[in-house]
Amino acid sequence: MLHALKGGRSALSRRRLAAAIALALPLPAAFAQGTTLDPVMVTAQRRVEDVRNVPVSVSTLADEKLDILASGGDDVRFLSGRVPSLLIESSFGRAFPRFYMRGLGNTDFDLNASQPVSLVYDDVVQENPILKGFPVFDLEMVEVFRGPQGTLFGRNTPAGVVKFNSVRPSREAGGHFRASYGDDDTANVETAFGGPVGQNWAFRFSGLYQHRGDWVDNARLTASGGTNVIRKNAFEGYDELAGRLQFLYEPGDSFSALVNVHARSLDGTARMFRANIFQPGTNNLVSGFDPETVYFDGRNFQDLDSNGASLRLRWDMGRVTLHSITGYESVDVLSRGDIDGGYGAIFIGPPPASGPGFIPFPAESADGLRNHSQFTQEFRWESRDWGAFDWQAGIYYFDEDLTIDSFNYDTLANGIRNGNVVQMQENKSWAVYGSVEYEVSDRFTLRGGLRYTDDEKDFVAQRFQSPIGAGPLGPLTASPSDEEITGDLSGTWALSDDTNVYARVARGYRAPSIQGRLLFGDTVSVASSETILSYEAGIKTNLFGGRGRLGLTAYMYTMDDQQLTAVGGATNFNTLINARQVDGQGFELDFEAYLTDSLLVTFGASYNDTEIDDSALGVQVCGSGCTFLDPVISPAIPPFVPATVSIHGNRLPQSPEWIANFTARWGMPLGDGELFAFTDWAYRSEVNFFLYESAEFRGPSLLEGGLRVGYNWNEGRQQVALYGRNITDEIVAVGGIDFNNLTGFINEPRRWGLEFSTKF
């Protein structure tokens, strides 16, 4: 894998780091004899099963490992690269994560953008991308199911599912408290407590507060070429508050009801877009780049409030169990940012009237969800104790209404509003599905299922004010609809009591999408449905007498009519397109083992090779002066019409070929407790930011590491620890804005902190 790490001094330092990690690990002739791994139980097939028996590529994060990765106060993006084939990024700050799996994702930043990776939180699908940013706290487990989930999960799951499972209420009283403080006034406080209420009830309350102080200065260039700070500690702070209250009612074994009410409030900073951070002709950051300084003349903020509830009912009726899952979600968000990443413009005067670097025109905009509601209902029947034959069947309903406001502002005229577009969308979808499982023999099991989905959208967009003088427009409407049959078929062979192999074929689907960002364009674009056919085979085995386990999967897929978003470009207009075909192939590896009684290591890796196969497909290139590398279909017509280039043969955006992760936990008894150390590392190779390829808008390979050293006592119920995130302080661009200048945004810098936790 190290051959993929290219690039001079940076590559050399990574090789040395990898070698140091490898040499630090003891390689005993015999593994530990006393410590074994607990079985991992997952719900990839909507039943609780040992992960070894599930014919799907699955990874999980739970317990101490999950708590440690979340300790730095980051949002859900801390999961990126922590399991094979999963990447998460955002150009919208903490509010709007974009998930990618096996290279499949969506770079669209519109507030009605759909994604091919579905996020399911406590059995309720979170369709809108803003909902997918709900904080991660008091979780039992994070499960990642790779590949099309064509039968049992709805909706829009051609790439896979990320599933969050909260800790449920219990009849046993207890809870925990965790508090940390670190660099940049970063504070995390998490608590959870619960227990019985009366004879048949139990409750659990979970709460999270996160705070970070502003740590990025706002500055201007001086006539002599220096920097003058006009406001110290101006940006990048936030206050996040989230809570969850659950009530469990269990009058007996035949019925249960679980009520879940949750809410979130975020007051923070929008994404920090940084003008001209790329050296022209390369993707290197400019000499002297300072992560702690920006040059803004526009406003920057982000306000978000969301709330939701769910009711999960279960009836055991002899040989059949009926599940009902009712969910409601609503979110209100407004995010405003200085998109050009600099101040002034070249036409308002000689330097330093604008900067840093070339600022052709100001760009400041905001997007918000004024109204949003999502209602889902699912009924699912599953067999109980039917011997060699088991089955599941269900119906699913989805109903979402939203109103999006898009604004533009004239930064040079004191930020007055000069653009306003409203988009409204109603989306209704329903599905019926069925799945069967048959034990052909003690060693061989067949599973298969089908799902029928019907999806309808009604969309209207209207421009009331144009920032470029084009005048009002609309209303423009679109009403795409489609129906599809998806499903999967798999076989699992038990080679021994410890080793299973499986093969699976699956078909997935994503419903049509609509774009109506009319601030800089005059048309509504619609992308038709995409479908995927995927083949995979794998092995899952327990090793070393239960002290280790390994999962290895190889896959290949063909996606027809993949929905892609041509983002930005010289006209700064998002346009939906369909690629005739996209091909992907690769593998995923998960390994975990006790090398000694006191040393637990995990290792994960994936190779994802994606390629757009559409010789007729082209997109407009950047308007920022970037060095594009694709063949030209039609040349630019200065000054306003950019070149169009072919993207045939390009890999998908934000799709690294390699993802790898490594953790090691070591502990030793000390006094009445344990002294321990934990380190974690995540690597991803280079990525393209856009559909076209350019020298500048490419994210270099990125390796981030964490460290935690601490002491726990009272049988592990109390702990104090020093932690560090991105401990090598590696800073690279992780995204860009391509219509104005060579604007980019970066990953999180190094942070250290101290944490105390207790269980009660």
pLDDT tens figures, 504-516: 999 999 999 999 9
* pLDDT above 90 for 637: no
pLDDT reading at 20 higher than 90? no
Question: How much is the pLDDT for 155?
Answer: 82
DSSP-based three-state secondary structure for 544: helix
Q: How many CA atoms lie within 13 A of 760 on its CB side?
A: 10
Residue 23 has a pLDDT of 39
Mean pLDDT of 297-312: 97
* 8 Å CB contact between 752 and 723: yes
pLDDT of residue 568: 72
Q: Are 750 and 177 in contact (CB under 8 A)?
A: no
Element (H, E) at 69: helix 63-69
Which amino acid belongs to residue 756? Answer: F
Confidence of residue 570 (pLDDT cuts 50, 70, 90): low
Which architecture characterizes domain 2-164+186-759 according to CATH?
A: Beta Barrel (2.40)
pLDDT tens, residue by residue, 469-497: 999 999 999 999 999 999 999 999 999 99
Averaged pLDDT of the chain: 93
Q: What is the pLDDT of residue 71?
A: 84
The mean pLDDT value for 722-748 works out to 95
φ/ψ of residue 353, rounded to 5: -70, -15
Q: Is 410 a residue whose pLDDT tops 80?
A: yes
pLDDT digits (tens, 9 = 90+) for 357-372: 999 999 999 999 999 9
Averaged pLDDT for residues 752-757: 97
| The length of the chain, given as a count of residues | 760
State percent of the chain over pLDDT 70. 95
pLDDT given at position 571: 65
Confidence of residue 537 (pLDDT cuts 50, 70, 90): very high
Residues 200-242 have pLDDT tens digits of 999 999 999 999 999 999 999 998 888 999 999 999 999 999 9
Q: Quick check: 246 and 166 in contact, CB under 8 A?
A: yes
- pLDDT tens-digit series, residues 162-184: 999 999 999 999 999 999 999 99
Residue 8, pLDDT > 50, answer: no
Q: Is 421 within 8 Å of 471 (Cβ atoms)?
A: no
Q: What is the pLDDT of residue 21?
A: 40
Q: Could you tell me the two tokens for 228?
A: 């003058």
Confidence of residue 33 (pLDDT cuts 50, 70, 90): low
pLDDT at residue 28 greater than cutoff 60: no
Could you report the per-residue pLDDT of 445-459, keeping only the tens digit for each? 999 999 999 999 999
**Residue 398 near residue 154, CB atoms below 8 Å:** yes
